[in-house]
Structure 1
Amino acid sequence: MLSANIQAGSSTRRYSDYATRSWSHVLPAGGKRTSLDAIAQLAGEHDIVGLQETDPGSWRSGFTNQTHYLAERAGFDYWSHQPNRRVGSVASSANGLLSRLEPVEVVDHSLPGRIAGRGVLLGHFGNGREGLTVAVAHLSLGAQSRKVQLDFIAELLQDHPNAVLMGDFNCVIDRPEMAHLFRSTRLQPPACAVHTFPSWKPQRAIDHILVTDTLRCEGLRAVPAAFSDHLALSVNLEVPESALQR
């Protein structure tokens, strides 16, 4: 599995780029296609990929649905996206899911929060309650908004024993707002913190792949997602065969 905040293919290699390259977040130039091709190569090494900050087709992406583009370039038969925030026709942001396995169902939910524009995308594999559920989310910057969002996600996942929640949480794992998620679901804190932000000098573990206690994961590592300001997370996941039976 892979979780990657791809920053819509934009390049940020130092803090000053947030100011000097801010134009790349609203214009279609800036080497985005080259960046997407590098992300596609990384994604192609995985079976299930969760994306954050992928552009579903606006001015800055050259009206390219970046999730679809990555699915085609990386050879994924199944893909879905969840547009969340749009700034006119200039820029838009989405969660995305790429999979080599055919999902039984894909559902998207808007997340609560002080400012609208966040969501969680759920892919269900296998049949019934015992099937594998994969959730992709991008949480808010504010702690109070994150709390209500995590409470909402906990309610969605509390009856799913084989579940994965991955994405950009914008917080470290031991924040108080994370506690209810672990109390209300079978999701487990990671065995170790893997720093993902900023990508050029990782100091904070704010991107996570969380799995329930029924699943076994190993080899969690951070890898570059082209020139995004976040490193991606890659993990090997062992899933019970029964969870994938259709």
Structure 2
Amino acid sequence: MPSQRLKLLSANIQAGSSTRRYSDYATRSWSHVLPAGRKRDMLDTIARLAGEHDIVGLQESDPGSWRSGFTNQTHYLAEQGGFDYWSHQPNRRVGSVASSANGLLSKLEPVEVSDHPLPGRISGRGVLTARFGEGDSGLTIAVAHLSLGAQSRRSQLSFIAELLHDHPNAVLMGDFNCPPDRPEMDILYRGTNLQPPACAVHTFPSWKPQRAIDHILVTSSLRCEGMRAMPAAFSDHLALSVELEVPEAALAR
């Protein structure tokens, strides 16, 4: 069957902030609410990495608040990375001081983009979906940032499973805040055709990766190879990159 190869990237960019050690969470906490620091330089570094890919999912991208200098970071990365198409899903806002969003950058034109709030004990999480190609067999890309608590993740994964259960060509990527073998992840594997990763790639913390909590999951109809982690500037997460082989029929318009 004819196929097309795409390069995908998932990155929690921590709103362009820099965290290089655990103590930075305390000593550099100001960077999460103030527009100071070298955030524009960080974004430029991330844009160069993103630009090497065809589709990029972002987490913790500031949609334009005080801490980002009122810059929509997803839009900025799209312009600097050479992406014609972009979308974002603002989720959590702390007044006008700080805000966070899922984002999607693409060099392919999506047929449809949708955003969905996720359930959870504390509101402010979501999943952003984009469909490429017409019909039920079109390629669906979903970007999510799940909660820290297992109970909230369970309800969120149930929601995502319902959302993707009838999509044969699907990708779910993002910051799951848990490894792929957690019990709640079985909800996803049972309810969709998404597969557990062949090997867990450690992405957190970025300066000494010990936990595999960022994932790019694909359905069995898609073939991925070359999964690797790489720095997203000085975010506390490493980004995940993968090459995906997609049936041409899934991209047909």
TM-score bracket for the superposition, by shorter chain length: over 0.9
Which of 129, 135, 138 in structure 2 is aligned with 1:131? 138
Which of 205, 209, 212 in structure 1 is aligned with 2:212? 205
Distance, in Å, in 1 between the alignment partners of 2:200 and 2:98 is: 32
Runs of 4+ in 1 over 3 A off after TM superposition: none
1:1-246 matches, within 5 Å, as: 1-246=8-253
Q: Which runs of 5+ in 1 are unaligned?
A: none
Residue type at the aligned position of 1:139: L
Distance, in Å, in 1 between the alignment partners of 2:71 and 2:169 is: 34
Q: How many residues align?
A: 246
Task: List per-residue Cα deviations over 1:112-140 (Å, max 9, x = no partner).
Answer: 00000000000000001100000000000
Task: List per-residue Cα deviations over 1:80-139 (Å, max 9, x = no partner).
Answer: 000000000000000000000000000000000000000000000000110000000000
Question: 1:213: Cα distance to partner?
Answer: 0.1
SS at match of 1:94: strand
TM-score (norm 2): 0.97
Residue type at the aligned position of 1:199: S
CA RMSD of aligned residues (A): 0.3
Question: 1:6: Cα distance to partner?
Answer: 0.0
SS at match of 2:147: coil
Distance, in Å, in 2 between the alignment partners of 1:126 and 1:5 is: 27
SS at match of 1:176: coil
Task: List per-residue Cα deviations over 1:132-159 (Å, max 9, x = no partner).
Answer: 0000000000000000000000000000
Question: 1:30: Cα distance to partner?
Answer: 1.2
Distance, in Å, in 2 between the alignment partners of 1:238 and 1:47 is: 12
Residue type at the aligned position of 1:71: A
Distance, in Å, in 1 between the alignment partners of 2:38 and 2:51 is: 20
Instruction: Tell me the percent identity.
Output: 85
Task: List per-residue Cα deviations over 1:165-186 (Å, max 9, x = no partner).
Answer: 0000000011010001000100
Distance, in Å, in 2 between the alignment partners of 1:18 and 1:115 is: 22
